[in-house]
Structure 1
Amino acid sequence: MDEEFRSLVDMLEAAQDEFMIKGALKRFARFCGYERFAYLQKEGAQINTFNSYPKPWEGVYLSADYSDIDPVITEAKRRWDVFTWSAEDWPARGSSPVRRFRDEAIDHGIRCGMTIPVEGGYGASMMLTFASSQRKVDVPAPFDQKRAIQLVMTVHYQLKIIAAKTAINPKQVLSPRETYCMTWAAKGKSTLAIAAIAGISARTVQCNLDKARNKLGAESVPHLIAIAKDRGLLDL
């Protein structure tokens, strides 16, 4: 575990873009017996995510505001320590919001995991989760709290550094039309609604949103909006 941890930190610190960070975290996740990872930063109502979860699940999670009822986040705020969890321990299938969350998480391959929470200032929080579709995963060795926090903070600052570089890169600047479509999407408008407002086709709207996603490295429209808000690219 020590060698793998040092290798992960070295790869993160040497990363030049989000793709390299994602590759390093996916590799470490597999070493620990997990399939995916998810970094989440929560500050008030604002959520920023960086993960290898299925794209449909990320969209569902953000659009349904699942961070407000996510049992993993609830447990993280209670413990502020490395912990493992299992969806098997959450309420069984039913009609309550938490039960619905459990059902959808399992359906998207999120069944058990290990989470490292870190408490930030002014009510902010950060957490890094490694997850699996299996019922249980045996971690190779205990995860030391001090090193776990170091890992989360390394991911946090590397993402901020890369985001800052991207924000000043001329190739990453959004066009007025891309910003316009993204702004309406952030206000909850559908592709068809944006097309009607802008007087363009729905295909053109989608094309502009896709271009904006590619420029900002977003995996979905909710992810695009989260990145844009974090970088101050939206005036809502």
Structure 2
Amino acid sequence: MNDWLDALLDETAIAHDQRTLQSALSDFAARFQFSGYAYIDLRFGHTFAISNYHPDWQDFYLKNNLKSLDPVIRHAKQLRRAFSWSADMATRPMSKAETSFFAQAATFDIRSGITVPVALPNRGTAMLTMASSKPKVAIDDKIDAVMAASVVAQIHARIEALQVTPSVEEPFHLTPKEKIFTRWLEHGKTVQDVADVENLKYNTVRKTLEELRGRYDLCNNTQLVALAIRRGLI
């Protein structure tokens, strides 16, 4: 397993742009007989993936918010270290939705794999998964959790530095009214200020922003503004 991690670090360390990084990850997956790779960045209100999984699966996954159902993501957040997984990894009977999740993933040759999560600021999580079409991934020895985390943390830093364009990104949109309110917040206005400027009741503005934050699991208006700017919506 340590040789596997050494190879992953060596192959991605020389990547100097988005194309070579994604090529290195794809080549690595193929070299070690994985069906594909997926790097997922999970932060409040902003989830994206860089992956060579089938585009139909990536699109279906995010559009149907499967991250809230995905047992691998849930296990990664709980365990917070490298682990191998498969459809029978659950310690309890799986729900119909979870069973369906694994069945759908299997149609895209995702039946098992190795996932390495790392912590991000503000309670975020990033994880790299190498998926396999086999029922279980064969591991010769115990995964070195410290080394695995170090390798994936370095890959995360390279993705950040290269500003890699996601393969898929969590949908995020604003209605015209939400966009107006958010733009006023960007200019430093309070909720009461927005209500006054737009000649609306305070509760109308407050409720609109509250529902918007809830839709994308955002903590406050500052986070809302930051996300809207990052997505180029205001």
TM class, shorter-chain normalised? 0.5 to 0.7
Shift of 1:28: 2.7
Larger radius of gyration: 2
- The 5-angstrom pairing of residues 49-88 of structure 1 reads 49-88=49-88
- Conservation of the 8 A alpha-carbon contact between 2:118 and 2:152: yes
Q: Secondary structure at the match of 1:47?
A: strand
Q: For the structure 1 residues 114 and 3, does the alpha-carbon distance in structure 2 shift closer, same or farther, using more than 3 Å as the test? A: closer
Aligned residue for 1:108, secondary structure, equals coil
1:13 is the counterpart of 2:2: no
**Distance in structure 2 (CA, Å) of the matches to 1:141 and 1:26:** 24
SS of the residue 2:163 aligns to: helix
Query: Residues 146-165 of structure 1 correspond to what in structure 2 (within 5 A)?
Result: 146-163=146-163
Deviation at 1:98, TM superposition (A): 2.0
Task: Give CA-to-partner distance per residue, 1:4-58, whole Å, 9 cap, x none.
Answer: 5434323322212222112222233334442211111101232121111111000
The answer (yes or no) to whether the contact 1:32–1:139 under 8 Å persists in 2 is: no
Q: Which runs of 5 or more structure 2 residues have no equivalent in the other structure?
A: 166-170, 176-226
Question: TM-score, normalized by length of structure 1?
Answer: 0.65
Q: Deviations over 1:152-197 (max 9, x none)?
A: 1111111111118x8xxxxxxxxxxxxxxxxxx85399xxxxxxxx
Kept after mapping to 2: 8 A contact 1:32/1:140: no
SS at match of 1:113: strand
Residue number in structure 2 paired with 1:232: 230
Name the structure 1 match of 2:214: none
Shift of 1:89: 4.2
Measure the CA separation in 1 of the matches of 2:126 and 2:134: 25
Q: Which amino acid aligns with 1:70?
A: D
Number of equivalenced pairs: 177
Indicate whether 1:187 and 2:173 are aligned: yes
Q: 1:120 to 1:132 in 2, by over 3 A?
A: same
CA deviation map 1:137-157 (0-9, x unaligned): 213443311211111111111
Q: Give the TM-score taking structure 2 as reference length.
A: 0.65
After superposing on structure 2, the runs of 4+ consecutive aligned residues of structure 1 that deviate more than 3 Å are: 1-8, 30-33, 88-94, 185-189
Once the two structures are superposed, the pairs formed by residues 98-109 of structure 1 within 5 Å of their partners are 98-109=98-109
1:2 shift after superposition:
4.8
| CA deviation string 1:108-163 (max 9, x = no partner) | 21100111111222210011111011112213443311211111111111111111
The answer to whether the 8 Å contact 1:36/1:130 transfers is yes
Residue 37 of structure 1 aligns with an amino acid whose one-letter code is: Y
Counterpart of 1:9, as a letter, is: L
Q: Aligned residue for 2:44? A: 44
CA distance in 1, matches of 2:3, 2:108: 32
Contact 1:34/1:137 (CA < 8 Å) preserved in 2?
no
- Give distance in 2, aligned partners of 1:6 and 1:37: 17
Relative contact order, CA 8 A, sep 6+: which one is greater? 2
Question: Secondary structure of the equivalent of 1:58?
Answer: helix
Distance in 1 between residues matched to 2:115 and 2:40, nearest whole Å:
11
For residue 27 of structure 1, what is the aligned residue in structure 2? 27
Q: Distance in 2 between matches of 1:11 and 1:113?
A: 19
Corresponding residue SS for 2:131: strand
Give, in whole Å, the separation in 2 of the partners of 1:34 and 1:112. 10
Question: 1:231 and 1:6, CA in 2 relative to 1: closer, same or farther beyond 3 A?
Answer: farther
Instruction: Give aligned-pair identity as a percent.
Output: 26
Report SS of the residue matched to 1:67.
Answer: helix
- Cα distance, 1:86–1:6 mapped onto 2, change above 3 Å: closer
Identify the structure with the greater helix proportion.
1
Root-mean-square deviation (Å):
2.9
